[in-house]
Amino acid sequence: MPNPTSDQAKILRQRFGALIRGKREESGLTQSDLALALDWRVTGLVSQVERGVSAPPPATIAAWSAAIGMTAEEFARAWLWYCEPYVYAALFGVSPFTQEHLKPPAPTVASLKQAQARVRKNITERKKD
């Protein structure tokens, strides 16, 4: 399961699941059909992905994309967008949280340290004036 586990990240995974479910249905596949195409013995894993409970393992991106009629690139970008939003933002400079109109998750330790450094710098500069 990807990080973060914030409510916003869960919403993104649910939206990914809805996308996958829609593509599966457009392809005329049942969850059982998709599980067979993925060489999975249990359809529950497909259901978990479609409900946003879990994300497909990265090693299965090509199989998922072929089974539901997406290119591997389309699927990988959607997977990054919805399941690994911080990686997507780092690679493409666009935050899925912002674009999906979700409140940004709580700040990270690194961003808090950067903010502290800015505040200290401002205080130091004001003292000089």
- Which domain CATH number covers 63? 1.10.260.40
Q: Is 113 a member of any domain?
A: no
Distance CA(20)–CA(46), nearest Å, equals: 9
For the chain, give the mean pLDDT.
88
- Residue 101, pLDDT > 60, answer yes
Question: Percentage of the chain surpassing pLDDT 90?
Answer: 69
Q: Is 89 a member of any domain?
A: yes
pLDDT digits (tens, 9 = 90+) for 36-64: 999 998 889 999 999 999 999 999 999 99
Q: Is 87 a member of any domain?
A: yes
Q: Is 127 a member of any domain?
A: no
Question: Percentage of the chain surpassing pLDDT 70?
Answer: 88
Q: Is 115 a member of any domain?
A: no
Identify the sign of the CA torsion 50, 53, 56, 58: positive
Q: Is 57 a member of any domain?
A: yes
Question: What pLDDT does 3 receive?
Answer: 42
Identify the sign of the CA torsion 20, 49, 53, 43: positive
Burial of residue 47 (CB within 10 Å: 0-12, 13-18, 19+) is middle
Provide the pLDDT confidence category of residue 110 given band limits of 50, 70 and 90.
low
Q: Is 1 a member of any domain?
A: no
Q: What is the pTM of this model?
A: 0.77
Mean pLDDT, residues 66-85: 96
2 or 119, greater pLDDT: 119
Q: Look at the chain and report how many structural domains it folds into.
A: 1
Q: Is 111 a member of any domain?
A: no
Question: What pLDDT does 104 receive?
Answer: 72
Which residue range is the domain that position 47 belongs to?
Answer: 7-103
Mean pLDDT, residues 27-42: 94
